[in-house]
Amino acid sequence: MPGPRLFSILRQGSCLIASIHTALDDSQLLRFQQDLVETIGRDRARGVVIDVAALDVLDSFATSTLRDIGEMARLRGAATVVVGIQPEVAIAMVRLGLRTGVLETALDLEEGLARVDGRLAGAADGRRDR
């Protein structure tokens, strides 16, 4: 694939920060999912923050992909937070009929990392179930 990278996955402590840089089509989204889930397993990450601020559309497929990532990450012991959903994207998502609860969300990267840290602290207290 020519052109700039579509997404990046960086490690920060026990967390992964996955940023999507541009609009992705469905197969690119699936590759993102595959890469991210592999990295979670390989790095034994405890938290994942997915930054979708660059996406101008979060349709049903993108949302279900994010949900699946969250689910797979959970099975590997990592908490996932999606950050950076733009106001108009959020409105379109609810008008489309997407329900929250499908995704754990936070405003931005900073909030997302705080949220994940909070989760990990909670987990360290002995509660691993969610």
Q: Which residues bind another protein (CB under 8 A)?
A: 1-3, 23-28, 56-61, 63-64, 83, 85-103, 105-108, 111-112, 115
Nearer to another protein, 4 or 126 (CB): 4
Instruction: Work out how close the CB of 73 gets to another protein at its nearest, in angstroms, rounded to a whole number.
Output: 18
Nearest to 79 by CA among 33, 28, 128: 128
Paired strand residues for 79? 47
Task: Report the residue number, 10 or 107, with the smaller CB distance to another protein.
Answer: 107
> Cβ 44 to another protein, closest distance in Å?
26
Indicate the length of the chain as a whole number: 130
Q: Which is nearer to another protein, 2 or 42 (CB)?
A: 2
The answer to whether 62 touches 55, Cβ cutoff 8 Å, is yes
Structure tokens at 65: 């992909």
What is the rounded CA–CA span in Å between residue 120 and residue 92? 31
Give burial (CB, 10 Å; 0-12/13-18/19+) of 25.
exposed
Comparison of 46 and 115: residue with beta carbon closer to another protein: 115
